[in-house]
Structure 1
């Protein structure tokens, strides 16, 4: 096959690499199927870097929330029946917030004073990014090398190994920072046919400051031939959801194209607009992947490949085997959240005590 999809996960600890890779592939398949499109065979590789920051992966079968390896948001097939949130007011608020931050960070004095605050904020709220910038590997690497260097080497080696293929990179959350960092630091990498960023924090001032970037418009890496940015307006990590006004086009006139999507992922009644499995199953993501797999292929060869692969899916059911190999604990009923404004609950609590 002449093309490959490379996935890069985001913040926090994850399940083991094999399970996470299966869940990404299942989500991509469910997204394409849900969009009414036909799947095509494709190579998929996952850049897994959680093992550099955490001694053990999360375990999907653990039900004790207090266990250190408890997985709070496992893979799940999202349902399109969930009503989309009305985001018109929210988009206006986020646009206004972006305008205010843009004005503030144009002043060098404010930008410099923000440096210490941003470092403390990253350490407390975005520890993985802080460790990426300043930490050293403490697990599975006896040399104790800088985390940033090891992750960059992994991605560079992966991309160069597939330099003869058309490459699509799908980067979630901090994965988009890693991609941008690597592409700007290593200009001789192969061309990236398609870059899809999901829930990206690339527009956040604190992160740009620590990447030694100014808050002026930034250049799109030269290797990128097409860039689409997906963001749910309720995703707090991607509150600056529009990257098109933050990045200048590269020499090929390529700049980010923004898409606001509805991340329908929920687990036990709680919505998570930043979840990767929800992003992968959106119609926008499915359409971009489908177009990448079909681009520049002869119609007859494409039709034959499509029909043969869908027969293979029907007969051998590889995705069913993936689910069996990567089981998910059953989803319990939505939990009833007590409200401090519910007088009856407060009264009952007082009587019991």
Structure 2
């Protein structure tokens, strides 16, 4: 595994301190390996891109962090996606959004997306409006990718981190800087929102899979509001090699300390059997 690295980039909202957040991401991945495949893989190389400090003066610490990483009691694999139990929970919401999304695409009006982005995905709203913030976040990921030039890279991008990752890869396509991502894995990505795709098209041209990624898998839980429009294989054209995004539904089993589910949480996505299989195959384990 010496020539391979898993790089993570976190999603929206304030986060714990950088070192702690990176350690928790790695622990969640390793927990998934152990539970889903009985594979320790403790020696995998991991790097992390942290950008929360660009938006928040102080990280979440102590009791302010209401959703920490904690290993789950028990043994055996985490639950896989169940088409009947999982898809049925929000299929109506997804169909409704896609119907409204077609109207938004046709008219150019994005009132629904405006509400989702401004009130539920505030950081992403500001990412589109604040050029300095946007460029600083992209620069951190670009610098991390450059550090690992020449290695095989799996880039795991959660939530708004998937937007940053996508934009960064499209810019690398344009710049010809020789960085190649073996596998882009987006987790709980809001890339399917009409307004997000409009922003992509305004900056990069056609919404399509980046040429600098050899493979792209999009993992989404149907109960995750950020992925209500998650049909990236349909909405994003193939890249110049004919490769396109593969949409894979998953069951995000993360629960807050009070027992309430959070289908959008990064740790839950990182522990899914589907992510473990992708990452272990990438690592050759």
Pairwise same-fold verdict (TM > 0.5)? yes
User: Structure 1's 103 and 217: CA in aligned 2 closer, same or farther, altered over 3 A?
Assistant: farther
User: Structure 1's 292 and 218: CA in aligned 2 closer, same or farther, altered over 3 A?
Assistant: same
1:57 aligned to 38, 51, 59, which one?
A: 59
User: Structure 1's 86 and 119: CA in aligned 2 closer, same or farther, altered over 3 A?
Assistant: closer
Aligned to 1:293: 283
Whether 1:284 and 2:274 are equivalent positions in the alignment is yes
Where do residues 64-103 of structure 1 align in structure 2 (5 Å cutoff)?
Answer: 70-78=64-72, 86-90=85-89, 92-94=91-93, 96-103=95-102
Report SS of the residue matched to 1:45: strand
User: Structure 1's 217 and 258: CA in aligned 2 closer, same or farther, altered over 3 A?
Assistant: farther
Aligned alpha-carbon RMSD (Å): 2.4
Aligned to 2:213: 224
1:19-57 CA distances to partner (integer Å, 9 max, x unpaired)?
001100110010000112423322111100001100010
Report SS of the residue matched to 2:24: helix
Whether 1:194 and 2:183 are equivalent positions in the alignment is yes
User: Structure 1's 4 and 243: CA in aligned 2 closer, same or farther, altered over 3 A?
Assistant: same
CA contact (8 A) 2:200 2:207 kept: no
2:234 aligned to 241, 245, 256, which one?
A: 245
Question: What's the TM-score once normalised by structure 1's chain length?
Answer: 0.71
- Return 5+ residue gaps in structure 1 as ranges: 63-69, 137-145, 295-301, 303-353
CA distance in 2, matches of 1:153, 1:243: 25
Aligned to 1:160: 146
CA contact (8 A) 1:217 1:246 kept: no
1:258 aligned to 243, 247, 250, which one?
A: 247
CA contact (8 A) 1:37 1:290 kept: no
CA contact (8 A) 2:215 2:244 kept: yes
1:57-115 CA distances to partner (integer Å, 9 max, x unpaired)?
001x22xxxxxxx11211022466879681343464255235413531342xx21x337
Aligned to 2:44: 42
Q: How many residues align?
A: 273
- Return 5+ residue gaps in structure 2 as ranges: none
Deviation at 1:234, TM superposition (A): 0.6
